Chain A
């Protein structure tokens, strides 16, 4: 059973995502992105740290998310900004999968 009181939020089902897919999840006034990589699910803030653009419109290449506006690149697992114009890291969030459901922990 999922413990909702630890701020785990249900974001979607595992079956609905292919590898390199991005899922946008809005919660309160914030946006998050959930990614499916070869080895599991990951989550970051949903908006680029360079300009306020949604990363859901970006592209995942080799474990990195490329911003759709200026191709700034972040490592999905660490959030590290690895190519300009992005220079500030993205925040990352824990993800867990239970009974084919994907949850993000927002603290």
Chain B
């Protein structure tokens, strides 16, 4: 008789949950265990900066699957469990209380917040200095925003701007500090970043671009923030969102290949046999773009987890989804598909946020990426279709894309 295959999943986020579900769909017999350092079952993170802070949802709304789902599918979930030792040679993972043997391992440990450094000094979270990643941090964030008056947000990326949007909707004074020359500069094109800047300013935010922090001093419960522009801000709450770092420290001193995340191929396989990685922690080979990339988004975490699950369960399934992500700020929905750099022309579709504005980025007459902003769901369909056109490498013209009379699904 064959012995039951043991599949171990490290990390308890979206990629882990969807990988476990997919493995169970294909393989009814394997022993599947998820080990998570969080005490909660896998939950959605996008609302932590938005709808949860605005009291539009409760924690139960955020769970991907109920406790029953894990029971019915015989997926074991070990929460509040930290990994202490990794032994790839003997296929063993040690935690504080147990050691787990595996036949196949999925690493889906996600990312941690990058800590702000000022003059070499690391700014750690403390009372009234907040970073956001987990549900507990979101709870704390909500309570602190409710009590604060003057909030300074360090980092003009997605997290910072979404929290700014929530805090402004709660009537707070918000200042955003960004060291770059535009908001969301890592992935969002300037055209859309400028529209977001205008929206935040119209809602009352003060936005300082090209701004470095020289010092933060605390007097009683108030912070003085000294900027390179000689300005001094006074604030009772500081929220920091300056990027994330893949959680790979536990694999230091092992032979696992790590470079800005765990290096994987298009099948989620790492440099070590029977070890896979998925989601934010994975720097994966994308066969469409013919390069490695590491993505941090809801859709990617889910689909990459599903794809890793298929491969772990024995199917040979390549991952080649066109990247897609969103952010919601105020009543606006921002979406990005593909990759918006290395283009030779840009086409604009739509001229008002009410109907949605999309910029298409083209190279050799093919869409390589598109980014849009609009009220509610106004840009969704065309962004989705832009992703499909990009995938099919369909030749288009700027004029075709710019004229809203042309339906993109008819191209």
Binding site for B on A (CB under 8 A): 20, 48, 53-54, 57-59, 66-71, 83-85, 87
In chain B, positions 36-87 with a C-beta closer than 8 Å to chain A are: 44, 46, 61, 64
List residues of chain B with CB within 8 A of the CB of A57: 376-378, 380-381
Known: A84-B64, A85-B44, A85-B46. A59 touches B384 (CB 8 A): yes
Are B377's CB and A58's CB within 8 A?
yes
B interface, size bucket: 20 to 34
Indicate with 1 or 0, residue by residue over B230-261, a CB within 8 angstroms of chain A CB atoms.
00000000000000000000000000000000
In angstroms, Cα B297 to Cα A70, docked, is: 11
List residues of chain B with CB within 8 A of the CB of A58: 377, 380-381
Binding site for A on B (CB under 8 A): 44, 46, 61, 64, 298-299, 302, 324, 326, 328, 333, 376-381, 384-385, 409
Are B44's CB and A68's CB within 8 A?
no
Are A85's CB and B298's CB within 8 A?
yes
List residues of chain A with CB within 8 A of the CB of B380: 57-59, 66-69, 71
Are B326's CB and A70's CB within 8 A?
yes
Known: A59-B381, A84-B44, A85-B44. A69 touches B64 (CB 8 A): no
Besides the known contacts A71-B324, A85-B46, 15 further A-B residue pairs in the complex with CB atoms under 8 A apart: A20-B409, A48-B377, A58-B381, A59-B385, A59-B409, A66-B380, A67-B377, A68-B376, A68-B377, A69-B326, A69-B328, A69-B377, A70-B298, A83-B302, A87-B61
B256 to A: closest C-beta gap in Å: 30
List residues of chain B with CB within 8 A of the CB of A67: 377, 380
Name the 6 nearest CB pairs between A and B, nearest first.
A68-B380, A68-B377, A53-B377, A69-B377, A57-B377, A59-B381
In the complex, the chain B residue whose C-beta lies closest to that of A66 is B384
In angstroms, Cα B385 to Cα A20, docked, is: 13
Are A71's CB and B384's CB within 8 A?
yes
In angstroms, Cα B121 to Cα A11, docked, is: 65
Are B376's CB and A69's CB within 8 A?
yes
A67 to B: closest C-beta gap in Å: 7
List residues of chain A with CB within 8 A of the CB of B379: 68
Central interface residue in B324, B379, B384, B385, by most chain A CB within 10 Å: B384
